[in-house]
Chain A
Amino acid sequence: MAAADSPSVALRRRDLCSRGIRLAGKMRSDVVDLLDVYVERQGLDASASVAIVEGVPVAAAERWDEQTGTQRLLENLAAYRAFRILLAQMLEEQREQLGEADAALGQSLAAVLLQVSAFTYHLEELLQLESHGPSSEEGPSPPLSPHLSLFERKLRGLGVLRELAQWAVRSARDLRQLTKSSSSSSSAPSPAESP
């Protein structure tokens, strides 16, 4: 940002960041619990390695500390929009596969999906504040998995939840970085307005 924000913008950003951090923390905790249930219900080995699957946003970042605020928000937003679609797919697959036999898993998946949606909204609001305009359109959807076997879909689901758990940690850190840089920029004097 070239100029310091108005106090109301800074306050709004701080408020969104702190609520976002809390939401990310809750989301992570619920995803970790969901992972335990998912592994058990799907008959998987918790320590199984899952190869990176196309369309699943990878939380791993190089030079993470060098990212700008806008970069952080854009990457987070792209990730959670993808997770929203992936979790909806998982929910549908789980209902087809297990039906009413495992309502608890379905409910947990639905609860996490709701949190992901709420977090996506937070990120969109923050990005509007950062870029002073509406957030960009959603990117391409992650590919559907019609040709994967049942086992492959289970493993993919495991990969989705693991990456989501990592993203939730990363997002909390990203929002703290945003808060930190917002605190330092809000103390800078505003330039005089041009005529």
Chain B
Amino acid sequence: LFLAAPPKEPVLMCRSNNYPKGFYCSWHLPTPTYIPNIFNISVIHGTREMVCEKDAFPKNRCHIRYLQLFSTVKYKVTLTVTNALGKNSTSLTFDEFAIVKPDPPESVVAKPVPSNPRRLEVSWQNPSSWPDPESFPLKFFLRYRPLILDQWQHVELSDGTSHTITDAYAGKEYIIQVAAKDNDIGTWSDWSVAVHATPWTEEPKHLTTEAQLTETTSSSTSSFMPPPTTKICDKGAVVGSGAVAVCWTAGLVVAAYGVLFI
């Protein structure tokens, strides 16, 4: 059994992820009322009242087209919620530039660079919701760290949609993310989906003859003799948040080569 309640002050948010086309506002109630609610939104710019067109989905959102750009006049958005038991409202006042926040970059890809054990090549695309990146270019913030460490490295990039990391720890799997911001105004996007990649490593050298195998077995306490069919999977590009798959057709790898990892 739920008790119907009048609405509490709604939570309202406005953002432009498609500047300079327009912006959207979305809202929700902090606690349910358990009865139907009606939401009304008004948008005022100076003396002008603007129409906020409700989205079909989600229902708690509407969008406004900019009629003017570069205005110093603030926007005031008021949301009123009404139900059978009462009414409540909230307002937001903001500058045109302050609410500009792009969506995260898309299609982030990280690849090892052949013969370069400390490099990773990262590329991405502008968010598809950003309508005109040529006239309204984005800048980017890249962060990366090896999975085994908590500290992120950061790089800010004002040009282009790719970057080569040159200080990766050899052999360590990395997690990489990118964020975007309009070059001149607004705030940073959320971080992109994380991608994982491991820098290129040299293939381990194999012992090729049985005679060599017999000689060394008696003198060393640990040595690895992969069978001739050992393969290392191509450490290619990984897109998305899955880990890089390194596949071996041999069994155990014993680190007896004296290859040092940091």
Tell whether A and B belong to one assembly.
yes
Task: Report which of B69, B136, B137 forms a contact with A60, defined as CB distance below 8 A.
Answer: B69
Known A-B contacts: A162-B72, A166-B70. Give 18 more (CB < 8 A): A25-B183, A49-B74, A59-B70, A59-B71, A59-B72, A60-B69, A60-B70, A60-B72, A60-B73, A61-B70, A65-B20, A166-B72, A167-B70, A169-B97, A170-B69, A176-B137, A177-B135, A180-B134
User: In the docked arrangement, what's the CA distance between A60 and B68, Å?
Assistant: 6
User: In the docked arrangement, what's the CA distance between A167 and B184, Å?
Assistant: 12
A62 to chain B, nearest CB (A): 5
Per-residue CB contact flags for chain B residues 97-124 toward chain A (1 = under 8 Å, else 0) read 1000000000000000000000000000
Q: Which residues of B contact A59 (CB under 8 A)?
A: 70-72
Per-residue CB contact flags for chain B residues 57-79 toward chain A (1 = under 8 Å, else 0) read 00000000001111111100000
Q: B interface, by DSSP: helix, strand, loop or mixed? A: loop
The answer, yes or no, to whether A5 is at the interface (CB within 8 Å) is no
For chain B, the bracket of interface size reads: 10 to 19
Nearest A residue to B135 via CB reads: A176
Q: A interface, by DSSP: helix, strand, loop or mixed? A: helix
Q: Which residues of A contact B73 (CB under 8 A)?
A: 60
The answer, yes or no, to whether A122 is at the interface (CB within 8 Å) is no
The answer, yes or no, to whether A109 is at the interface (CB within 8 Å) is no
On whether the beta carbons of B70 and A176 are closer than 8 Å, the reply is: no
User: In the docked arrangement, what's the CA distance between A60 and B73, Å?
Assistant: 9
- CB-CB under 8 A for A163 and B72, given A25-B184, A28-B184, A172-B184: yes
- CB-CB under 8 A for A173 and B135, given A25-B184, A62-B67: yes
Q: In the complex, how many residues of chain A place their beta carbon closer than 8 angstroms to a beta carbon of chain B?
A: 22
Per-residue CB contact flags for chain A residues 59-75 toward chain B (1 = under 8 Å, else 0) read 11110110000000000
On whether the beta carbons of A169 and B135 are closer than 8 Å, the reply is: no
On whether the beta carbons of B134 and A176 are closer than 8 Å, the reply is: yes
Per-residue CB contact flags for chain B residues 175-192 toward chain A (1 = under 8 Å, else 0) read 000000001110000000
Q: Which residues of A contact B137 (CB under 8 A)?
A: 176
Nearest B residue to A60 via CB reads: B71
Chain A positions 153-195 with a Cβ under 8 Å from a chain B Cβ: 162-163, 166-167, 169-170, 172-173, 176-177, 180
- CB-CB under 8 A for A166 and B71, given A25-B184, A28-B184, A172-B184: yes
Q: Which residues of B contact A25 (CB under 8 A)?
A: 183-184
List 24 interface pairs A-B (beta carbons < 8 Å), by A numbering.
A25-B184, A49-B74, A50-B72, A58-B72, A59-B70, A59-B71, A59-B72, A60-B68, A60-B69, A60-B71, A60-B72, A61-B70, A64-B20, A64-B70, A65-B20, A162-B72, A163-B72, A166-B72, A169-B97, A170-B70, A173-B184, A176-B134, A176-B137, A177-B135
